[in-house]
Structure 1
Amino acid sequence: MSNALAVATVTQALALLIEHHLHPEIDMAVSVETRKPPSDPPTEPTITVFLYQVGHNPSMRNSDLVTRASDGTLLKRPAAALDLHFLISAYGEETELVGQRLIGSVVRTLHEIPVLPQELIEEAAQRPYLAGSDLAESPQKVRFTPLQMDVDETSKLWGMLHNTPYSLSVVYQASLVLLDGHQKPAPAKPVQRPDVRVLPFGAPGAPEPGGVAGGVPGGVGATAPTGVAGAAGMVETAGTVETASTTRATVAKAASGGGARAAKKAAGDGSTGGRGAKSATPSARSRARKATGGDPADGADRKRGADRTREAGRAEDSGRRTDDAGRSDGEGRGRADDGKES
């Protein structure tokens, strides 16, 4: 952060940067001036640094909107983020291409050193008219970026300079320059004592229990006793969950072919497993219904009826075979008697 002298300090530091890096390519005395291009072009080698536009940085324009609390208290110091646009022109003897040589040196310098050095900012702040500038203390560095302007934009720019002939020049943007406000926010109060609270499930203000524990939806927290339960309540709940799991496994085995006795046994085990097992028995029965297409007892009855039907069929088949055997025996005896008579 810096004060309002930062804009002028950047202009002066840019002029010093160009002036200190003219050599060794330029072996002549060159005057670097911080002013707009003159209406009467000088014949001596001259470089002008002209700040022609100051604009707010688009990405940092609204970064400090919330600077005050609801009661008007200043929360943080406001800062204006600026982009500076410079027009750098070169003058000299045209027959010796002095202007082109100077422009080449400027482009090479700003491409090699795109960030404004702190020592040049401090040197620029030593000017009497820049006394009090604190740009050198700002953590935000100023970077120079070349801007490409077409013929129309260049014509408009030089058209704003009344009675000023065009000269070979380049355009650079300097960003980011932050300007601080005068008011300083009140420092935040230090932490006097930490406030750490531990609340059991079910207490006012405590988070709601949830999650999955032991593979059962709802987990341990689903059947945990309210208030301060202690370790006994948690052990009882864990046993309930385990009993419910065992009951479901047994009922599933009964549904897959174990018969109605295994299903009744699973239901009996579930009834002696506590409140959690009772709540799990209807769910186990519903799963057994899905596996067998109905209630486990109904499935056992259907199986008994099927067995009886198969036994009746087997008895009928054996009776038929006995009748067939009797008929064949009678036919054999009749044939034997016919042979004796003959």
Structure 2
Amino acid sequence: MSNALAVATVTQALALLIEHHLHPEIDMAVSVETRKPPSDPPTEPTITVFLYQVSHNPSMRNSDLVTRASDGTLLKRPAAALDLHFLISAYGEETELVGQRLIGSVVRTLHEIPVLPQELIEEAARRPYLAGSDLAESPQKVRFTPLQLDVDETSKLWGMLHHTPYALSVVYQASLVLLDGHQKPVPAKPVQKPDVRVLPFGAPGAPEPGGVAGGAGAAPPTGAAPTAAESAGDRPAAAKRATNAGATSTARATVAKAASGGGARAAKKAAGDPPAGRRGSKPGGPSAGSRTRKASGGGARDGGRDGTGRTGEARRTDDPGHPDDGTES
């Protein structure tokens, strides 16, 4: 952050940067001036540093929109973010290519040192007309980036300089220069007393149980107390809660009914109740009575019924081993 003298300070520091790094390639006295290209080109070796455009930085233009509270209190110090566009021209004896030698030195210097050094900013601020500049204290550094202008843009740029002949030149952009406002925000008060509150569910200002304990979308328990929104007359919320409670009760009843039905079927199966598909007599099949006698008295091979259809527990008298078969024991 810096004050309004930052723009002029960058221009002066850029001229000092070029002047301090001319040697050892340039072995002549060169004048570095912070002005626009002259209408009468000088014959002595000269470099002009001309700030021809100041624009707002597009990426930082809206970084400090909210600077005041609703009551007008200043929240933070406003700052304008600027980009500076420089036209650097070189003059000298054409037969000795002085202008080209100077431009080569300028390009080499700004490519090697793209960030403006702090010591040069402090040296520039020692000028009487720049007294009070605080650009050296700003944490934001100023970086130089070369710009490529085509023939049309170059023609328009030099056309703005009335009666000024074209000279060999390069264009650089300096970013980012921040200009602070005059007013300073009141510092925030320190925390004097920590305040930690513990509220039960259902109290005014407490979170909903479904959003904390049961997760988002969890159904409230049946018979729970109405929430603050329902007490205040929020009928849609109360209806939705009643619908969720009814759906939960219906689901529980369905589960209980299914469990009781399964128990009844299990009891019938344990008591020997035949399946529904086998109940009764099929046409042409054995009767239910015969099945009952077979189940209770056994079959012919168990002595329950002989081959003639008679029932009884004794075997035929002529069976071997019977007391009446005429043989003696």
Superposed pair shares fold, TM > 0.5: yes
Tell me which residue corresponds to 1:245.
none
Measure the CA separation in 2 of the matches of 1:54 and 1:214: 59
Measure the CA separation in 1 of the matches of 2:134 and 2:213: 62
* Cα distance change of structure 1 residues 77 and 21 upon mapping to structure 2, 3 Å threshold: same
**Selected match of 2:254 from 282, 286, 294:** 286
* Cα distance change of structure 1 residues 223 and 50 upon mapping to structure 2, 3 Å threshold: same
Matches within 5 A, 1:209-228: 209-210=209-210, 218=218, 222=221
Tell me which residue corresponds to 2:159.
159
Measure the CA separation in 2 of the matches of 1:224 and 1:25: 92
Tell me which residue corresponds to 2:278.
310
Tell me which residue corresponds to 2:87.
87
Q: In angstroms, what is the RMSD of aligned CA positions?
A: 3.6
Shift of 1:281: 7.8
* Cα distance change of structure 1 residues 100 and 298 upon mapping to structure 2, 3 Å threshold: farther
Cα deviation code 1:252-280 (max 9, x no counterpart):
xxxxxxxxxxxxxxxxxxxxxxxxxxx97
Measure the CA separation in 1 of the matches of 2:261 and 2:41: 106
Cα deviation code 1:286-328 (max 9, x no counterpart):
3587x89x96589779999971441435795346xx9xxxxxx
Matches within 5 A, 1:1-342: 1-210=1-210, 218=218, 222=221, 282-287=250-255, 296=262, 307-313=275-281, 317-318=285-286
Measure the CA separation in 1 of the matches of 2:212 and 2:13: 66
Instruction: Give the structure-2-normalised TM-score.
Output: 0.71
Cα deviation code 1:109-156 (max 9, x no counterpart):
111111111111001001111111000001111111111111001000
- The percent of aligned pairs where both chains have the same amino acid is 80
8 Å Cα contact 1:41-1:91 kept in structure 2: yes
Tell me which residue corresponds to 2:299.
none
Measure the CA separation in 1 of the matches of 2:206 and 2:32: 71
Shift of 1:93: 1.5
| Higher helix content, 1 or 2 | 1
Report the residue type matching 1:202 in the other structure. Answer: G
The alignment covers a number of residue pairs equal to: 268
8 Å Cα contact 1:85-1:171 kept in structure 2: yes
Measure the CA separation in 2 of the matches of 1:312 and 1:66: 89
Q: Which runs of 5 or more residues in structure 1 are unaligned?
A: 228-278, 323-328, 330-342
* Cα distance change of structure 1 residues 162 and 31 upon mapping to structure 2, 3 Å threshold: same
Measure the CA separation in 2 of the matches of 1:153 and 1:11: 22
Report the residue type matching 1:307 in the other structure. Answer: P
Shift of 1:88: 0.3
8 Å Cα contact 1:201-1:226 kept in structure 2: no
Q: Which runs of 5 or more residues in structure 2 are unaligned?
A: 227-246, 291-307, 309-329
Highest CA radius of gyration, 1 or 2? 2
Report the residue type matching 2:71 in the other structure. Answer: D
Report the residue type matching 2:25 in the other structure. Answer: E
* Cα distance change of structure 1 residues 301 and 120 upon mapping to structure 2, 3 Å threshold: same
